[in-house]
Amino acid sequence: MNNKIVSISLTLSIFFSASTQATLLNRGNGLIYDDVKDITWAADANLFQTQASSNPNLVADIINANSGVINDTPNELDTVAGSGVYSLTTADFDVTKGSMSWWGAMAWVKSLALGGIGGWSLPTTIPANYGFSQADSQMGNLFYNGLGGDAGSSITAVHNASYDLFTNIQDDVYWSSTEFENTPDITDPAWVQAWAFGAVNGSQDFYWKNDGFKYYAWAIHVGDVAALTAVPLPGALWLFLISILGLMRLNTRFVSKAKK
């Protein structure tokens, strides 16, 4: 085979291999963009606790913003068993640590406005993927591809330089928005669970949702939030620029005529 062809093939192979890896871009204002998954992460990985430290009414605000309830897959722990409606209480939140029940975490991200933008959520999980090295789900992709984590090791101990883009990453478990569906008996509180990801070891698993089990929440937004927060040019500035372009065009025509 021609050496030039081999060289081009290797170059293309390296290019496409590299293009599958997440590139994390600091957009400022507490926003980190993943250009492969096309999602924006909150730079603060324990933002709820950060907010709570400066707002003593945060939990009440979250509950009120969600009209006191979160809709879920009908289960025994709903306010009326099997109704698909769970009533939020202060017991769903731990403002000291920043951890929450699954319902508390869902309520927090629904009420979140970061960078002046709403529409935040918890990461999603591909339920068929269980255990270590599950990089297809959003948290797994961040752990393994974005931050360079290793299976069996905490992300706080093993990571790449992109780790420093974030603050307050917890050596613990983070909720996803994906509920556990392979439930043998949804009426049994022991099986009311949701998927989560262990930043402590890189493992994806399902965890109990009730308020006795609180884990952390990392907010994401689909798309590049920086594009949504870009400040548009004022109307007066647009008129000024149009005027300048018009004068430049007239000047060009005048010079062209003068040369004839």
Segment 78-103, tens digit of pLDDT: 888 888 899 999 999 999 999 999 99
pLDDT of residue 140: 94
Long-range CB pairs of 86-93 (<8 Å, 24+ gap) are: 88/62, 88/63, 89/63, 89/211, 90/59, 90/63, 91/211, 92/211, 92/214, 93/48, 93/52, 93/59, 93/62, 93/214
pLDDT averaged over every residue in the chain: 82
Q: What is the SS3 string spanning the chain?
A: CCHHHHHHHHHHHHHHHHHCCCCEEEEECCEEEECCCCEEEECECCHHHHHHHHCCCHHHHHHHHCCCEEECCCCCCCCCCCCCEEECCHHHEECCCCEECHHHHHHHHHHCCECCECCCECCCCCCCCCEECCCCCHHHHHHHHHCCCCCCCCCCCCCCHHHHHCECCCCCEEEEEEECCCCCCCCCHHHCEEEEEECCCCEEEEEECCCCCCEECCCEEECCHHHHHCCCCCHHHHHHHHHHHHHHHHHHHHHHHHHC
pLDDT in tens, 126-141: 876 788 988 889 999 9
pLDDT at 12 over 90: no
What is the mean pLDDT of the segment spanning 159-172?
A: 96
Q: What is the pTM of this model?
A: 0.78
Highest mean pLDDT range out of 24-33, 77-86, 191-200? 24-33
For the ranges 3-12, 95-104, 130-139, 233-242, which has the lowest average pLDDT?
Answer: 3-12
pLDDT at 13 over 70: no
pLDDT of residue 164: 96
Rounded to whole angstroms, the Cα distance separating 159 from 173 reads: 17
What is the mean pLDDT of the segment spanning 255-259?
A: 51
pLDDT band for position 62 (cuts 50, 70, 90): very high
- Which of 135, 168, 169, 130 is CA-nearest to residue 150? 135
pLDDT of residue 26: 95
pLDDT at 160 over 70: yes
Task: Report the Cα 32 to chain-centroid distance in Å.
Answer: 9
